[in-house]
Amino acid sequence: MLLLPLIGEDIYTTEKIFNENHVSKGGFLYSLSSQPSRKDLVDFDIKVYTLKNTADSNPLGYVKVTLHAHKDVSDSELLYYEDVSEALYISQCAVMKNYQKGGLGKVMFDLLFRMYPDKIFLSHVSVRNLPSLKLHYRHNFKKLGVYQSEDFYGYGGYVSDLVIRHPARGS
């Protein structure tokens, strides 16, 4: 498996993965405006990586990483004792529906953390998204606290775990 930067010809497939994982279809991705798009190809603050069998195959999943967390997350008092100025923020991670529960999320995270061995990672994961919470905790994320929003991309009562992963010792 390969984790490769998003290229133009993969936009359609990553949009499809986003849409089939959108909250309106029973998934956990919220903002339609944040789905992978052509603007991500030129935005230096956003990195979208696609998981592929080979360089020429269609993406099976993707992970979207930003060089900064959402302002409401980065301003959170939960991060008061953490230096996250250089942290990477995992804003989205999704796998095609017909490939879910097959270990591809684990493969994607393993490859991502190998690409950035010295980085701190932040994320917030819906408390309803048990598969993603398990994935994060199995990859040594620690819960900092609970993030709540009464208007999260138009959805009320959003609750998530704010999690952090420090680099492995010796890396």
Q: Residue 86 maps to which CATH number?
A: 3.40.630.30
How many folded domains does the chain comprise? 1
Q: Is residue 66 assigned to a domain? A: yes
Tell me if 114 sits within 8 A of 82, measured CB to CB.
Answer: no
Whether 168 maps to a domain, the answer reads no
Residue 101 forms part of a structural domain: yes
Q: Residue 133: inside a domain, yes or no?
A: no
pLDDT in tens, 139-156: 999 998 888 888 777 778
Within-domain flag for 60: yes
In the chain, the amino acid numbered 104 is L
Whether 142 is in a domain gets the answer: no
Domain of 84, in residue numbers: 2-121
Sign of CA dihedral 70, 71, 75, 76: negative
Residue 124's pLDDT band, with cuts at 50, 70 and 90, is: confident
- pLDDT at position 69, please? 65
pTM above the 0.75 mark? yes
Rounded Cα distance between 62 and 153, Å, is 21
**Two tokens at 12?**
């359609």
139 within some domain: no
Residue 63 resides in a domain: yes
What are 45-80's pLDDT values in tens digits? 889 999 999 988 999 999 999 887 666 665 666 666
Q: Where are the beta strands (DSSP E) in 36-87?
A: 46-52, 61-66
